Structure 1
């Protein structure tokens, strides 16, 4: 915290952004912390690190936590942070498919975007990067797709095959991609907010079709 100035502290195991705290150190030595509880934001300040530790001990209890460098996220309307949740799944052909990439816009001053609005990537990315040409947007999307597939494959190389992973990442104002985290059990809230019924249908159908492949392979081995 002393080195980076602004960090995110999060429980190693948590859901819906309920165990995430943003902490910013001021030049005077005080610390401002903020977190969201089911969409309601809490933002307070303490005078020193000792008092901050007491707040964190109460907030996280005995949970193990990780500390991440704060990313200078793109913002809209000055105070609404923006990140992206890519929904990747294995489909009925056992192929990794990028089903959709909702862009999430958080509530005003909220440290997370989980309970904000969501928009389709192709419709909203130009608003985030208005100076980008169509070719630059196309190249960025290709870079994002490659990044997402690489993350998915790397997770599988460590833990074995996954039927689906929700990958959170962000863009800064220079178009640089920042990895945030992977979600093994995505609630699919953003994709339901941003996309129509065809995409929503696919996001629930793919896991069933992939499960069918696994069942067939298991049955053939038993015979």
Structure 2
């Protein structure tokens, strides 16, 4: 949440951040009045663990998706139903759901890894994370998603997107986010989860200061060597 707040304070970059608040009774019902879908996430964590999706089906019913289960609830019982799932020792945020672009009817988002060798941020790893199913709650590789070549995937999306414009906006936003966060936190590597919605708008979903990169070795050896080279330079500094 702290990293997200840093981005939300920037007058330009705040438009890349989905509406986000601490999860509580009032924020849940306020969000569902505005958005048809919201996500409830642990404030700290990774690999998509503990994420709950809530969809407003109509005025009398909501759908709760967690792990591999889906259930329905009336709005008046929704908060108590969700609280039973949450771990009491953790803090949770609630976030506007982004209607992610799809490829072969499966949603995807983007992982961008940036490193800072010689004092300059560089995007060294990038991939699309394609969800295993149309109804998947998360697009994390640890939860069954597939790493795909982003350039190729963007050319075959179910929506008609301007892949060049999307990639340009994605790279610009990623570098700006890295600059903002590194002005508040001592960073030399950053993993960004970025979303692209069905209209081609880029969204900042979350940042990870210790991104898991080893899986990229199997996926794209050339990119992974670039990542290792930057890592080596940083280590020597």
Scaled by the length of structure 1, the TM-score of the pair is 0.81
Alignment coverage as a number of residue pairs: 202
Deviations 1:78-121 (A, max 9, x none): 3x211111111112x23211012201111211111003111112
Deviation at 1:192, TM superposition (A): 4.0
Q: Does 1:87 align with 2:74?
A: no
Instruction: For structure 2, list consecutive stretches of 5 or more residues without a partner in the other structure.
Output: 1-30
SS in 1 for 2:95: strand
> In 2, distance between residues paired with 1:2 and 1:172?
19
Which of these residues, 62, 85, 100, is aligned with residue 73 of structure 1? 100
Deviation at 1:124, TM superposition (A): 1.6
CA distance in 2, matches of 1:27, 1:67: 20
Compute the displacement of 1:142 (Å). 2.1
Asked if 1 retains the 8 angstrom alpha-carbon contact of 2:101 and 2:159, the reply is no
- Match of residue 168 from structure 1: 193
**Aligned 8 A contact 2:41 2:50 in 1:** yes
Q: Which runs of 5+ in 1 are unaligned?
A: 214-223
Measure how far apart 1:51 and its partner are: 4.8
Q: TM-score, normalised by structure 2?
A: 0.76
Matched, 1:106 2:131: yes
Q: Does 1:158 align with 2:184?
A: yes
* Partner Cα separation in structure 1 for residue 149 and residue 87 of structure 2: 34
Of the three residues 28, 39, 50, the one matched with 2:77 is: 50
Matched, 1:186 2:211: yes
2:102–2:158: 8 Å Cα contact kept in structure 1? no
Deviations 1:122-152 (A, max 9, x none): 22210127745xxx43333222211110000
Asked if 1 retains the 8 angstrom alpha-carbon contact of 2:191 and 2:211, the reply is yes
Find 1:199's aligned residue among 215, 223, 227: 223
In the other structure, the counterpart of 2:171 is 145
1:167-221 CA-partner distances (Å, limit 9, x unpaired): 11111222111111111111126634532x23223323422320210xxxxxxxx
Kindly name which structure, 1 or 2, has the bigger radius of gyration based on alpha carbons: 1
- With CA pairs under 8 Å and 6+ residues apart, which has the higher RCO, 1 or 2? 2
Alpha-carbon separation, structure 2, partners of 1:111 and 1:189:
24
